């Protein structure tokens, strides 16, 4: 039986929609774990090896810019099915030993697989929004965010062992199998008759400006550490990349008839959250890119041990996700983010000092455990905050924007890490011993500076109504927040306490998932009555102790 709109349990749907994220993490993590081995097998320098990951991220970014409009026109469920099929098929080709020995073939197949990820991963959250029971969206966000460390754990444990025994390319085959199984499940479980907008069109000029700007900027960054690039060419690429991205923003918001991101989607609150998502992904992915190199070169660990130690870091999700739920229910997002980023920068700085001077593998693993957990916590809180203030009409575009900023941070983070590390190595005059402990520590010091910027941005975050009752909430400050005119439930109705007739008892699964849930979204009975009045049952809302009505339109709808 196929899932039905607005009535599907979060955990059941997430078993389908979160798997593309799992496959994506697998695809990144196993390459990251075995990057030094792959570099040796293909006989390529570190700068070229980083393109094995960059090509996937860049291609995914380009496709992601079109996914929002494609989802509007053809349906997100169809995109997820097609995307998982493409990813699965492309990765299965790695079963050929010849392909795994050709740098060009590896890049081509990674790019093809990224096309599928660019279609499937951003489509997951809009599907969750359309199908999940009202009020349970935070559970889906938590489950989707948990795929990051869970995928990292499984991939890290298996990547080193698989690479050492039968070859690194067979991890790609595993990713392909996961994606194809996900494709088959989605074909039988997801509904394909959801409402679509057949008039939705893609503005190819917007896509070209954004994609070419990102590519030029990243190539410019990489060229800094490449002796074959002239300095003037590097400067031209960087400036051109920035100009193209700026031109995209101006054209998309002022002149495009088919905007990739609607003007009403871009407000101060969303911009702040997206900037935090970008910078946090940049720091986290950049930091994790260095982990296998430091474990291998400086701490003398074997591939199997590297995978195990990275997997231990991924276990942090089972501690930090429940902790995030507790923090998110007690503190407003502003205070929560300041707390998490302050811990992040402190731990990273201490870790950088021990990398440079003590080189203890146990301490290094413990610190990686903490920073990974903090990253997952920030991801859950930031996305929950974003969706809690977003109207239904913009959910599709917001999901694409979240994924776009995370992927962009991923790619630029890895690129910046490679460039900084090589430049510091050269400054230290250690060409015979790359990834010197001081060069790795130097990169982390730069990232500490970025995290301080995150603390400053977090201090300027506004309030939203779903934070009412939490420590730090102030009604006057909330009124000053520039956000959407309506919240996630398409209503300005603010309900502090609600009593329902025949209130259902929570199952054990719901109680477990609520533990990971920083936001408890109000159930949207008004929207249900408008959009599903022909098929829904009457909701037994008895009374609300405090109800705030903020628009005359809503009063008319209630009548």
pLDDT tens per residue across span 201-213: 888 888 888 888 8
Asked whether 155 and 26 are in contact (CB, 8 A), the reply is yes
pLDDT tens per residue across span 45-68: 766 777 887 788 778 878 887 888
Q: Tell me what the mean pLDDT of segment 143-171 comes to.
A: 78
What letter would DSSP give residue 425? H
What residues contact 509, with CB distance under 8 A and at least 6 apart? 9, 11
Per-residue confidence (pLDDT) for residue 549, from 0 to 100: 38
Distances (CA, A) of 208 to 213, 214, 252, 414: 8, 10, 11, 23
Per-residue confidence (pLDDT) for residue 253, from 0 to 100: 84
SS3 for 210-225, per residue? HHHHHHHHHHHHHHCC
Q: How confident is the model at residue 528 (pLDDT cuts 50, 70, 90)?
A: very low
| CA count, 13 A, side-chain hemisphere, 217 | 19
* Residue, of 354 and 526, whose pLDDT is higher: 354
Structure-token pair, residue 498: 């609600």
* Residue, of 551 and 93, whose pLDDT is higher: 93
On the question of pLDDT at 292 being above 80, the answer is no
Helix (H, G, I), strand (E, B) or coil at 544: strand
Give the whole-angstrom CA distance, residue 93 versus residue 491. Answer: 49
Asked whether 291 and 312 are in contact (CB, 8 A), the reply is no
What letter would DSSP give residue 548? E
| Strand 494-495 versus strand 547-548 pairing type | antiparallel
What letter would DSSP give residue 9? -
Residue 541, H or E segment: strand 541-544
Residue 341: other Cβ atoms inside 10 A: 26
Asked whether 265 and 405 are in contact (CB, 8 A), the reply is no
Q: Tell me what the mean pLDDT of segment 195-221 comes to.
A: 82
Q: Tell me what the mean pLDDT of segment 155-161 comes to.
A: 76
Q: SS3 helix, strand, coil % of the chain, rounded to 5?
A: 75, 5, 25
pLDDT tens per residue across span 345-387: 999 999 888 888 888 888 888 998 898 889 888 888 888 887 7
Give the residue among 526, 538, 541, 531 at the shortest CA–CA distance from 490.
Answer: 526
Give me the residue label for tokens 């400067």.
235
Per-residue confidence (pLDDT) for residue 534, from 0 to 100: 41
Give the whole-angstrom CA distance, residue 245 versus residue 361. Answer: 41
Residue 139, H or E segment: helix 137-165
Integer Rg of the chain from CA? 23
Residue 271: other Cβ atoms inside 10 A: 13
pLDDT tens per residue across span 380-434: 888 888 777 777 667 777 877 887 888 788 778 877 887 777 777 677 665 555 6
Asked whether 156 and 29 are in contact (CB, 8 A), the reply is yes
Give the lowest-confidence range in 31-40, 449-458, 518-527: 518-527
Asked whether 132 and 15 are in contact (CB, 8 A), the reply is no
Question: What percent of the chain is predicted at pLDDT more than 90?
Answer: 16
Per-residue confidence (pLDDT) for residue 475, from 0 to 100: 65
Give the whole-angstrom CA distance, residue 396 versus residue 390. Answer: 10
Query: How high is the mean pLDDT of the chain?
Result: 77
């Amino acid at each position: 039986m196929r899932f039905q709109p607005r009535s599907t349990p979060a955990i059941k749907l997430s078993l389908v929609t979160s798997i593309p994220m799992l496959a994506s993490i697998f695809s990144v993590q196993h390459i990251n774990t075995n990057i030094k081995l792959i570099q040796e097998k293909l006989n390529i320098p570190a700068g070229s090896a980083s393109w094995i990951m960059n090509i996937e991220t860049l291609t995914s970014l380009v496709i992601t810019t079109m996914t929002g409009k494609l989802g509007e026109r053809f349906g997100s469920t169809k995109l997820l099915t097609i995307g998982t099929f493409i990813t699965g098929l492309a990765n299965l080709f790695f079963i050929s030993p010849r392909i795994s020995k050709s740098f060009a073939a590896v890049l081509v197949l990674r790019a093809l697989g990224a096309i599928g990820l660019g279609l499937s991963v951003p489509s997951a959250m809009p599907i969750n929004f359309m199908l999940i029971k009202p009020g349970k969206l935070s559970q889906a966000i938590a489950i989707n965010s948990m795929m990051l460390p869970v995928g990292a754990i499984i991939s890290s444990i298996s990547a080193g062992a698989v690479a050492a025994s039968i070859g690194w390319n067979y991890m790609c085959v595993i990713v392909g199998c996961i994606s194809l199984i996900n494709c088959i499940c989605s074909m039988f479980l997801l509904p394909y008759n959801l409402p679509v907008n057949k008039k939705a069109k893609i503005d190819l000029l917007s896509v070209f400006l954004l994609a070419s700007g990102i590519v030029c900027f990243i190539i410019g960054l990489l060229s800094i550490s490449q002796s074959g690039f002239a300095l003037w060419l590097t400067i031209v690429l960087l400036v051109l990349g920035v100009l193209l991205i700026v031109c995209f923003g101006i054209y998309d918001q002022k002149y495009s008839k088919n905007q990739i991101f609607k003007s009403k989607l871009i407000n101060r609150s969303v911009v702040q959250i997206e900037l935090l998502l970008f910078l946090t992904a940049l720091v986290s992915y950049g930091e994790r890119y260095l982990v296998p190199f430091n474990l291998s070169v400086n701490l003398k660990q074997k591939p199997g041990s590297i995978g195990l130690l990275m997997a231990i870091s991924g276990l942090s999700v089972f501690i930090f996700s429940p902790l995030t739920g507790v923090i998110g229910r007690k503190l407003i997002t502003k205070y929560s983010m300041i707390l998490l980023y302050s811990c992040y920068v402190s731990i990273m700085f201490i870790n950088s000092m021990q990398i440079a001077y003590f080189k203890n593998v146990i301490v290094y693993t413990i610190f990686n455990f903490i920073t990974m957990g903090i990253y997952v916590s920030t991801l859950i809180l930031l996305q929950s905050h974003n969706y809690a203030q977003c109207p239904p009409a913009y959910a599709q575009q917001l999901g694409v924007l979240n994924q776009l900023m995370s992927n962009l941070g991923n790619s630029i983070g890895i690129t910046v890490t490679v460039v900084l590390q090589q430049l510091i190595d050269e400054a230290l005059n250690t060409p015979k011993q790359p990834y010197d402990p001081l060069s790795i520590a130097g990169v982390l010091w730069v990232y500490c500076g970025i995290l301080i910027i995150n603390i400053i941005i977090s201090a300027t975050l506004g309030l939203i109504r779903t934070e009412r009752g939490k420590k730090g909430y102030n009604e006057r400050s909330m009124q000053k927040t520039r956000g959407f005119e309506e919240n996630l439930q398409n209503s300005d109705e603010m309900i502090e306490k609600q009593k329902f007739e025949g209130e259902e008892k929570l199952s054990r699964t719901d109680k477990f998932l609520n533990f990971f849930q920083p936001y408890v979204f109000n159930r949207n009975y008004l929207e249900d009555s408008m959009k599903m009045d022909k098929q829904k049952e009457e909701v037994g809302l008895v009374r609300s102790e405090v109800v705030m009505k903020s628009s005359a339109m809503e009063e008319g709808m209630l009548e």
